[in-house]
Amino acid sequence: MHNKGPAPQLHDGSNLRIGIVHARWNDTIIEPLLAGTKAKLLETGVKESNIVVQTVPGSWELPIAVQRLYAASQVQSSAAGSGSSAGDLLGSSTSDLAALSTGASNTASTGPFDAIIAIGVLIKGETMHFEYIAETVSHGLMRVSLDTGIPVIFGVLTVLNEDQAKARAGIIEGSHNHGEDWGLAAVEMSVKRKNWA
């Protein structure tokens, strides 16, 4: 398996606040990707209470969710103590990934996110649907990143079949979990963005 991700850099995530929005399509692939992402965030020192996880139906909904989640976190930090949280804006999670997607971490912390990770799995079907969603979501996420000035990590697999997805989610023996790269990228880019401000 040649695809092992970027050469890792170690950065301290202990002062960071990270949002994750994931789609609920292809949840058997999403689940290990989300777990890999969270594992790396925690490994770099990001506190559990500073990781907010929200879900949307499909990848198409990721750009608007990332945009609103970030906006809510900004409002919240300027009106600290109001009792609302960025998590409230998108409602509570109802996915089967409940253990990873809900809990105290969704409401405990406040303040603007340093980065948001968008996770989805698009698997090509028989129509042009895949092409439209993949291209539009990619552009949408980049637009949100540049408009807000915060790193939006592209955790969207665009694959031709389920086997390719499994091979990028660490499910197949010896394969690399790309979620781990996304967690590390969020921390690295958050730290670098603060330094470049």
Closest separation in Å from C-beta 35 to ligand DLZ: 18
- According to DSSP, the residues that pair with 119 across neighbouring strands are 22, 155
Rg of the chain's alpha carbons, rounded to an integer? 16
User: Among residues 22, 129, 139, 178, which one is catalytic?
Assistant: 129
Q: How far is the CB of 133 from ligand DLZ (least distance, A)?
A: 5
> What is the Cα–Cα distance from 110 to 87, expressed in whole angstroms?
10
- Which of 107-123 are b and which e, b meaning 16 or more Cβ less than 10 Å from the residue's Cβ? bebbebbbbbbbbbbbb
CB of 158 to ligand DLZ, least distance (A): 9
Nearer to ligand DLZ, 91 or 125 (CB): 125
Is the backbone of residue 58 left (phi > 0), alpha (psi -120 to 50) or beta? beta
> Closest separation between CB of residue 39 and ligand DLZ, Å?
22
Specify the residue, 59 or 102, whose C-beta has the smaller distance to ligand DLZ.
59
Give dist(CA 3, CA 177) in Å, integer. 10
Q: What is the smallest separation between the CB atom of 78 and ligand DLZ, expressed in angstroms?
A: 31
- Cα distance between residue 151 and residue 108, in whole Å: 22
| Strand ranges of the sheet holding 115-123, from the earlier edge strand across to the other edge | 51-56, 18-23, 115-123, 152-159
Which residue's Cβ has the minimum distance to ligand DLZ? 58
Judged by beta carbon, residue 133 or residue 189, the one nearer ligand DLZ is 133
Looking at beta carbons only, is 133 or 191 nearer to ligand DLZ? Answer: 133
Q: Does the annotation mark 129 as catalytic?
A: yes
State the Cα–Cα distance between residues 78 and 36, nearest whole angstrom: 32
Nearer to ligand DLZ, 25 or 182 (CB): 25
Residues in the site for ligand DLZ, rule: CB under 6 A? 23, 25-26, 57-61, 120-123, 125, 129, 133
Catalytic positions: 129
